[in-house]
Amino acid sequence: MATQATLAIEASDLAKSFGETTAVDGVSLAVRTGSVYGVLGPNGAGKTTTIKMLATLLRPDSGSAKVLGQDVVADGDAVRQRVSLTGQLASVDEDLTGRENLILLARLLGFKREPAKARADELLEAFNLADAAGRLVKNYSGGMRRRLDVAASLVVRPEVMFLDEPTTGLDPRSRNQVWDIIRALSGAGTTILLCTQYLEEADQLCDGIAVIDHGKVIAEGTPAQLKASVGSAALHVRLLEPEQRPEAERVLAGKLDCSVTLENDPAALSAPCADADAAASAVDELGRNGIEVAGFSLGQPSLDEVFLALTGHPAEEQAENGAEPQKEEAA
């Protein structure tokens, strides 16, 4: 079939329970070959369980999945030949050095002794870990450990790479490094399935996104489609004085005749509005009411809003992590 040839991952109705807990409750995915696909959801949504089933580490209770045309249950070994997994916990051995980790994996993947060393050194160089090659991984920083982890998945270039929350716990600079690596990998032709709880990350990297909550896919599409699905553009306003927000909410609601959303940022609020003139006069009205505006913009809704609209609850840790990258980029 023509569609199968272009799909790297096809999952249909995957389900998995652990005792009483249903971790994944009927997830279907279709990931095009060569794309970066995001599985976006809060902690405990079922992302890791889904990725483990696709990477053949867990057997689904029901449903089926094919990776590169091969069934993850019946042809698990064939799938393992062509994919690699970077787990949520750094999947490297802390008690070995970075170089020993890569040599071990190269040996396990069939390299002979000398080529294994050469491949390890090549990867250490490419991932800027050559200086730390001889140090035990337990003494690595979070960012270095993650880079080694990704390098370990690339000893042989996989056709499909599963990345489970690759930037969780990283500082912004390390996170940007990992993003660059992911883009480079995608550029080299590897299909990437990325689990993340950071909306910003999915927005930055992914061609397609499945939003997952309580083990179910609740929305699917490109980042732009998902944003559009929530509705039209919105006016975002940031106030100088957070205390004035209730007043600002009343003014905007009256002027634009709509319901106003209060953001996590105590000084920010937003309202659906497609018309630039109406937006300008609404901001004007704030000024006339003595409310000082620090900044405003008219734009597409953020993925945060998408998430809220879809699930009825904000993405977890949104205030801590989702907002931070934006601050950093503005700086």
Residues that bind another protein (CB under 8 A): 52, 55-59, 77, 80-81, 83-85, 87-97, 100, 104-105, 107-112, 115, 119, 122-123, 125-129, 131-132, 134-136, 139-141, 144, 147, 152-154, 156-157, 173, 176-177, 180-181, 183-185, 187-188, 190
Which two three-digit tokens encode residue 316?
A: 């977890």
Cβ proximity to another protein: between 127 and 307 the closer is 127
Q: How far is the CB of 176 from another protein (least distance, A)?
A: 7
Q: How far is the CB of 175 from another protein (least distance, A)?
A: 11
The long-range contacts involving 95-99, CB below 8 angstroms and separated by at least 24 positions, are 95/136, 95/137, 95/138, 96/136, 96/137, 97/133, 97/134, 97/135, 97/136, 97/137, 98/124, 98/129, 98/132, 98/133, 98/134, 98/135, 98/137, 98/140, 98/144, 98/148, 99/124, 99/133, 99/134
Q: How far is the CB of 164 from another protein (least distance, A)?
A: 9
The whole-angstrom separation of Cα 299 and Cα 63 is 40
- Which residue from 303, 85, 302, 76 is spatially nearest to 194, judged by alpha carbons? 85
Cβ proximity to another protein: between 152 and 209 the closer is 152
Q: How far is the CB of 42 from another protein (least distance, A)?
A: 21
Please enumerate in sequence order all residues whose Cβ is within 8 A of that of 262, keeping only pairs 6 or more positions apart, or say none. 245, 249, 268, 269
Q: How far is the CB of 59 from another protein (least distance, A)?
A: 8
Q: How far is the CB of 303 from another protein (least distance, A)?
A: 24
Q: List Cα–Cα distances, 31 to 27, 65, 222, 276, 328, in angstroms.
A: 13, 11, 12, 37, 31
Q: How far is the CB of 171 from another protein (least distance, A)?
A: 10
Q: How far is the CB of 165 from another protein (least distance, A)?
A: 11
